[in-house]
A and B are shown apart, each in its own frame.
Chain A
């Protein structure tokens, strides 16, 4: 296998990792600050993608669509937070799991109600279509490079937001001691709504960007949701840094596993058996990684400091 191919597959792994990070960042923030486990995060991803596809087709501009995707998901998120989630913060994880599981049913069937049964059309914008040559003869999809770039930008932005701004200070304070910050006169409810909407907007961004590459259809959020949970659990729940590292780890393990496991088994098995066995193991790989990480470090790689609820 050539170096070029390996380099390209590493880029693919990075790109998958970065999209997972966009999903995982919102999940982990919401958990870290509000102590809420939100299974409906994948629905926000789906809502973002549907808004983006709808606006893109109506206006003919992908970038307007992207904005609509983020805005749509953020509005849906804010509404969800005010109507449903606020009642769940004081409950145990069990109630949160069931309530957000119910929200998945509502969101999926509701979306199908509004947009119909067939998948929607959403394509990569003209300017980013096709490939570009990187160093050493390696060609790579422009759009995928854009995703990697946007994802890393978001990671930097989040770091700045949490470490350097007033809102970030309140978020950090909320993570360590919820009652105290409320007692200090900060409108903690507003902070919660903003954090939730922010997480939703990131999910909407991920849904819109990935939707252009894959398909915009009901149920598209569920596989990503499970992966995002794997990511935040590996990284340490509540930690944005952990989410980034976890996302890149999962992206690389999944992509490289899919490519190299079947070839590995071909070394000592016949072709068809090796392909079957390799593919089966590849689809289990990230769960194995997760089990190993948790067996060694029960709080994940980067346990968030100050959270007592995790």
Chain B
């Protein structure tokens, strides 16, 4: 009896250990990517992954070993995968997380443990201010950035009564705070909707009955698609403003013509004229047969940031590697790019307009919303 117990458990443990060890091969630099590849938000994770892999392929790089795992958009899973990557696979750099709540679950522990984390998408304020860390870099934006640019644009466009709405969760509150930080007019109304809500009839009726001259909304994913379609049906014709998330390449097809003419803010656009971007858009379209999205551009930049640091120094020298990352010595597809004191980007945020190229909806840049913009939390960061 005892023998069977021992034999069974030894067999199980050996199997598990060998599975854990199977991935351990030698490479100069190991990158672990935790991203969302299944379930509702999978398209964002797939874009980040594809952009990242494209950059490695274009660089013809052999020294980076990339491990990818799916978090299914669950914080608990992200924590588990991070644990595996760090303690079992011994990765040097973690990246890939799409959502702020997953980032908050993984990042603080990771960077305190001495592993680098480079964010290709989420930038919660808690990690930009008091909670900043020398091993944490954000290659996308601080969460408030795009909303701030839209607030600034609203002033320029002469709007003085914006109706603003966002889902009732932290990123939604950050969005409205960010908008109001730059917007100088009054709010004609302020609504927090239920997270995941798909019917906005009640909210649109309130907009219709207010004296607003413009509408600003932050409703990521399917919520934004639903809102735009219903807004178009409602007969309200106030101008709509929003961050790029609801008007990005992956989502425009589903929104349809309802999105035409909408102004949205983004740090990147397909038509940015720099050579790095031209090469990226061409290579991405060729490789994957679809236009790149904002998220793909961020994945691409993240990979190039890591490559630039790896070209300068060994990752085993953490201080040198950190300095190399901080220098951000790579050709970003968004043009000028550097890190502020809290390791968040200093970059232009553009205002884009949704247009039609032939049959395909896409964006073109119409103006610059904020130039060399940093974020409001950098002053709280003591590194």
Spell out A's residues near B (CB within 8 Å). Answer: 1-2, 4-5, 8-9, 12-13, 15-16, 108-109, 112, 117-121, 123-124, 129-131, 139, 141, 143-144, 210, 212-220, 223, 255, 258-259, 262, 271-272, 275-276, 279-280, 282-283
Contacts and interface: CB of A to CB of B under 8 A. Distances in A.
Contacts of B256: 121, 123
Given A109-B38, A214-B198, A262 B254 contact: no
Interface in B200-233: 201-203, 205-206, 208-209, 221-223, 225-226, 229-230, 233
Given A108-B39, A117-B46, A130-B235, A283 B199 contact: no
B104 interface: no
Given A15-B201, A121-B256, A124-B233, A282 B226 contact: no
A16 to B, nearest CB: 6
B222 A283 contact: no
Contacts of A16: 199, 201
Contacts of B168: 276, 279-280, 283
B235 A141 contact: yes
Contacts of B234: 131, 141
Nearest to A2: B209
Contacts of B114: none
A214 B233 contact: no
Contacts of A8: 205, 208
A117 B199 contact: no
25 contacts: A1-B209, A5-B206, A9-B202, A12-B201, A13-B202, A16-B199, A109-B38, A112-B42, A121-B254, A124-B233, A131-B233, A141-B230, A144-B201, A210-B199, A214-B222, A215-B198, A215-B222, A215-B226, A215-B229, A220-B198, A220-B222, A262-B192, A275-B191, A275-B192, A279-B193
Given A1-B209, A8-B205, A217-B40, 20 more contacts: A9-B202, A12-B201, A112-B42, A119-B43, A119-B225, A119-B253, A120-B254, A121-B255, A131-B234, A141-B230, A213-B199, A214-B225, A214-B230, A217-B225, A217-B254, A218-B39, A258-B193, A259-B205, A276-B192, A283-B195
A283 B196 CA distance: 11
A121 B250 CA distance: 11
A272 B198 contact: no
B229 A283 contact: no
A271 B202 CA distance: 19
B194 interface: yes
Nearest to B224: A215
Contacts of A15: 201
Contacts of B225: 119, 214-215, 217
B371 interface: no
B194 A258 contact: yes
Contact of B229 (A12, A123, A259, A280): A123
Contacts of A131: 233-235
A214 B254 contact: no
A217 B41 CA distance: 10
B70 to A, nearest CB: 11
Nearest to A143: B233
Contacts of B194: 258, 279, 282-283
Contact of A124 (B193, B203, B229, B255): B229
B235 A275 contact: no
A279 B250 CA distance: 30
Nearest 7 CB-CB pairs, A to B? A214-B226, A215-B225, A119-B254, A219-B40, A12-B201, A117-B43, A131-B235
Is the interface on chain B under 10, 10 to 19, 20 to 34, or 35 or more residues? 35 or more
A123 to B, nearest CB: 5
A237 B110 CA distance: 49
A16 B199 CA distance: 8
A56 to B, nearest CB: 11
Contacts of A255: 201-202
Given A15-B201, A271-B190, A279-B193, A129 B233 contact: yes
Nearest to A144: B201
Contact of A118 (B38, B43, B205, B230): B43
Contacts of A216: 254
B86 interface: no
A58 to B, nearest CB: 15
A220 B267 CA distance: 30
Contact of A217 (B190, B222, B233): B222
B105 interface: no
Contact of B209 (A5, A144, A219, A280): A5
B199 A214 contact: yes
B226 A213 contact: yes
B110 to A, nearest CB: 27
A217 B255 CA distance: 12
A76 B297 CA distance: 39
Nearest to B222: A215
A228 to B, nearest CB: 14
A223 B253 contact: no
Contacts of B39: 108, 218-219
Of B43, B222, B233, most A-chain CB atoms within 10 Å? B233
Contact of A119 (B205, B209, B251, B258): B251
Contacts of B253: 118-119, 121
Contacts of B203: 258
Nearest to B223: A215
Given A214-B229, A280-B168, A223 B42 contact: no
Contacts of B221: 215, 217
B196 A223 contact: yes
A112 B254 contact: no
Nearest to A119: B254
A2 B39 CA distance: 42
Nearest to B199: A16
Contacts of B223: 215
A149 to B, nearest CB: 16
